[in-house]
Amino acid sequence: MLIRPLTAGDRAMIAEMLETCGGFNREEISVALEVFDEGIASGRPDDYALFGAAEQGRLQGYICVGLVPLTESSWDMYWLCIHPAARRLGVGRALVAHAEGHVMRHGGRRLAAQTSGRPDYAPVRAFYAALGYEVMGRIPDYFRDGDDGVFYCRVLVPTAPRRPPPGALSRPRPGA
Amino acid sequence: MLIRPLTAGDRAMIAEMLETCGGFNREEISVALEVFDEGIASGRPDDYALFGAAEQGRLQGYICVGLVPLTESSWDMYWLCIHPAARRLGVGRALVAHAEGHVMRHGGRRLAAQTSGRPDYAPVRAFYAALGYEVMGRIPDYFRDGDDGVFYCRVLVPTAPRRPPPGALSRPRPGA
């Protein structure tokens, strides 16, 4: 699986994926494509950064993250979509990990995500929980009646760079 | 005090208020004016609706609310600014009440607001609490280190229309 930045040429495949994945209504698909267009047009790394996961040239999912305006280092996961044929293959997990790396490389320290509290979204909530995202709040009926908003956030801790074991630098080299 | 929709002609006074109120940094002022411009340009009642409180023709504060995209009836308070000379005169309270009425008239059922967890923002948090806004979540260091995000929401319940006291309709009228 290759994870790469999306380009304008991916639009048709993204539109098809949003249609077939079954998780989004007409308005959501239209907003997702607006966000895609803005991200591609902007080209700024903190403004709707878009990454896709491809297998043999075919997109299996994509993610969109961006810096939350007026925050110094809080990013939001604006969109995450996995092709139905590619579910349970670790595509979502790989996309989130890649996006988290991007966020950290650009100074981000936390990544927020929101999803629905509906029973059919239990797998999505379990997915975020498994990746270390914590529920920071919940608003009843946020999206519509019976459809709560559940708000997640994860503090991103950069992996320590590989360094020589303690003492390695002062240890005499063989033959020294 | 008159509360009225803002117009393009209010821009200079809004800019001056944002500068002098002391609560906003350069980036925040610039975003506030962008939002003002978008709201004026859009003219849609659910897209950055802007209201100002005026006393003898002079603006004392303004509020900006809008429908949260992809929700059916959740609105967000995007901006609330009170002129320093008009503090503690009920201007903020009147603006919020007016905005809540606007939200309800356009089908909104809840209004969210966010503010800082910093100690100097305690009066702002007390203000929201006094108006019936509940804390739905808090994210440490959300805006920047040491500056938490505190997320409020209030469920808006339309005031019941005035109706005759129970039994009034079936009580025989005098002389009947």
Q: Identify the CATH number of the domain in which residue B17 sits.
A: 3.40.630.30
Within a domain: residue A160?
no
Question: Which domain range does residue B24 map to?
Answer: 2-155
Q: Which of A72, A70, A108 is nearest to B24 (CA)?
A: A70
Of A72, A73, A139, the CB nearest to B136: A139
Within a domain: residue A162?
no
Structural domain tally of chain B? 1
CA of B146 to nearest chain A CA: how many angstroms apart?
Answer: 11
CA distance B155 to A80: 29
Within a domain: residue B171?
no
Mean pLDDT (chain B) is 90
Q: What is the pLDDT of residues B42-82, one digit of tens each?
A: 988 888 999 999 999 899 999 999 999 999 999 999 999 99
Within a domain: residue A167?
no
Distances (CA, A) of B20 to A78, B14, B25, B86: 34, 10, 11, 12
ipTM associated with this complex = 0.83
Within a domain: residue A38?
yes
Residues of A in contact with B112 (CB under 8 A): 139
Within a domain: residue A57?
yes
Contacts A–B by Cβ distance under 8 A: 64
CA of B171 to nearest chain A CA: how many angstroms apart?
Answer: 39
Q: What is the pLDDT of residues B82-130, one digit of tens each?
A: 998 888 889 999 999 999 999 999 999 999 999 999 999 999 999 999 9
Chain B residue closest in CA terms to A149: B71
Of B31, B71, B109, the CB nearest to A69: B31
Residues of B in contact with A28 (CB under 8 A): 70
Phi, psi of B151 (to 5 degrees): -110, 120
Within a domain: residue A9?
yes
Of B138, B145, B153, the CB nearest to A139: B153
Within a domain: residue B124?
yes
CA distance B101 to B170: 33
CA distance B91 to B119: 23
CA distance B100 to B79: 14
For residue B174, pLDDT over 90 is answered with no
The answer to whether the Cβ–Cβ distance between B143 and A74 falls below 8 Å is yes
- The whole-model pTM stands at 0.85
CB B111 within 8 A of CB B154: yes
Hey, of B29, B136, B156, B157, which one would you mutate to test binding to chain A, going by the most A CBs within 10 A of its CB?
A: B136
The answer to whether the Cβ–Cβ distance between A144 and B112 falls below 8 Å is no
Tell me the residue type at A132. Answer: G
Report which DSSP code applies to B10: G
